[in-house]
A and B are shown apart, each in its own frame.
Chain A
Amino acid sequence: MSMWISNLGGKVFKVFPWLYCIISIYPLVYMLFFSLKSNEEILYQNPFGIPHVFHFDNYSRAVKAFNILLFFKNSVIVSFASLIGIILFSITFAYAASRMEWRLNKWTTTYMLMGLFIPIQSIMIPLSLLVKNFHLANSYFSLIVPYISFNLSFSVLIFYGFFRTIPPEMEESAFMDGAGIARTFVNIILPIMRPAIATVIIFSFMGVWNEFTMATVLISDAHFKTLPVGLVSFTGARSSDYGGMGAAMVMASIPTFVVYLIFSEQVEKALTVGSAVKG
């Protein structure tokens, strides 16, 4: 009897991971399918399965009617500019904090890391007033500047930790050989930093590309909306076009999805390291 139970237990054990795989993936497959179906098929004839007729026109309609290319462009601009700012500011800060000798070094570094514990929601109200007062409302900067600021603490922590693992002699010998500070940095330090930079890029890109709360509050002009916000506004306007909506959703998910499929190990590591340091 107990043999039988443990046997059955073993079977359940082997099936459960696949069962959850279906729960995890099927909604997305369903989305992919309905992005290629007509309303008739989605609602009545064939809600679950592979489309009978592939309606690629859903995609062209989504591009034309929903302005999705504009939202896409905005997301790319905002993400790209934010990433550059994040890396530039945090690498320089982390270098000074880990390598150079100055008073208040410890205090300043602790101060920069405080951002890890501040929930972004808690400063939304003053931030929106600030953006208005600086006349940044409805421009790319109203998102880029907060995105940079909010990702600094994490990136500083990663770079700071990484610098401490590289022996200072590495730069010193290059410096002795007559390379200037800038050359030493570009030729010696940046190449070693590659894994840390990759972690920061992945973590920040995932966060910024998908960011919703700040983008809804700070952007009201449709011309500057990023994908997550843009998608909400058009589904309100054309909520009966399920196929087109599905197509837009699929297109909006492609960048992060592809990045994940290519760098899956690094993405998991970069994202989970984020919560490990916050804890």
Chain B
Amino acid sequence: MKHFRSNKKAIFLLTFPALFIFSVVVIYPLLQTFYRSFFEWNGLSQPRYIFLENYKSLLHDDIFYTSLYNGAIFALILTVFQLGIGSVLAFILLENKVFGKKILRTSYFIPVVLSVTVVCQLWLTMYNAQFGLINKIFELLHFTYRQDWLGDTNLSIIAITVVASWQFMGYQFAIIYAGMKTIPEHIYEAAKLDGASKVKTHLKITIPLMAETYRICLIFALIGGLTAYGYMNIMTGGGPGTSTYTLTYQMIRSAFVMNEIGYGSASAVVLILECFVVTLIINRFIARERITY
């Protein structure tokens, strides 16, 4: 066995397949993304080296700013909706004797396991201006308010974000719930003796103790917002106009519809940097020390 543990041939055979496929399919394309962002290329002709020109054009492209704005809106709503509702639900379910806890937890998680296509098609029918469920609910409640949810330039990005928030709330809930369960009961005893209210107890004790968990949730929500693509592709096609473009949407469109591969690669590089910076900032400011009880 000792002999086997440092057998060069065995080590090579065991590690090579994973290393090879990972290098060729993930790392090599990643480097290519950076490299190609310095070229002007339509995929057929000779690529032309233009250094930072693609990045300069990005800075003069209105769609780029729409994409950044939408990414920020998407991430922001996702974070507030999911972390807010997820936390409140976790507080309630852990503390009270609520009927049917298991059913509730399951029901929150079910949308997570559905494909983005099914979720989007479903919400497309629900958002439909003429006979969609949402407008029908207003009708049922005798409101005259009707809205073409996805046809409005300002509303559509929010309407899309609601769908993503709805789908993954259960995911964040599961993380928060699991995190809260690990906080030992005795931590709360002093607060109970002081007669602090529940809301205050959670604000002052639970949430600070959960910093590590919230860091994970925050990164998930923000990165999810920045890299959103499927929702836009299926529900609005980036429209009306270009009002629901995100960076990923813009990148795929430039590369595969407009055949501007260099320009698309530059968007991809910006996307990578954005994700990197967001992760860095969150890791820098939240939960820098691990909490031990």
Contacts and interface: CB of A to CB of B under 8 A. Distances in A.
B252 interface: yes
Interface string B146-184: 000000000000000000001001110011001000000
A228 B116 contact: yes
Contact of B110 (A25, A90, A278): A25
A44 B131 contact: yes
Given A20-B89, A100-B5, A122-B272, A257 B21 contact: no
Interface string B191-227: 0000000000000000000000001110110010011
Interface stretch (B56-64, B72-80, B121-129): B121-129
A264 B126 CA distance: 28
Contacts of B223: 119
B268 A121 contact: yes
Residue of B1, B10, B166 contacting most chain A CB atoms (<10 Å): B1
B118 A149 contact: no
B85 interface: yes
B174 A149 contact: no
Interface stretch (A50-58, A62-70, A188-196, A248-256): A248-256
A264 B106 CA distance: 7
Interface residue SS majority, chain B: helix
Interface of A: 10, 13-14, 16-18, 20-21, 23-25, 27-28, 30-31, 34, 42-44, 47-48, 88-90, 92-93, 95-97, 99-102, 108, 111-112, 114-115, 117-130, 145-146, 148-150, 152-153, 156, 171-172, 175-176, 181, 206, 209-210, 212-213, 216-217, 227-229, 231-232, 235, 242, 245, 249, 252-253, 256-257, 259-261, 264, 267-268, 271-272, 275-276, 278-279
Contacts of A111: 19, 27
B206 to A, nearest CB: 15
B248 A217 contact: no
Interface of B: 1, 4-8, 10-11, 13-15, 17-19, 21-22, 24-30, 32-33, 36, 43, 85, 88-89, 92-93, 96, 98-100, 103-104, 106-118, 121-123, 125-126, 131, 133, 136, 140, 166, 169-171, 174-175, 178, 215-217, 219-220, 223, 226-227, 229-230, 233-234, 248, 251-252, 255-256, 261, 264-265, 268-269, 271-272, 275-276, 279
A47 B136 contact: yes
Contacts of B166: 23-24, 27
Contacts of B106: 261, 264
B121 A260 contact: no
Contacts of A148: 21, 25
Given A24-B110, A149-B21, A268-B109, 18 more contacts: A24-B111, A31-B118, A48-B140, A117-B275, A122-B269, A124-B255, A126-B28, A126-B36, A145-B21, A148-B21, A212-B233, A213-B229, A232-B121, A252-B118, A271-B112, A272-B178, A279-B215, A279-B219
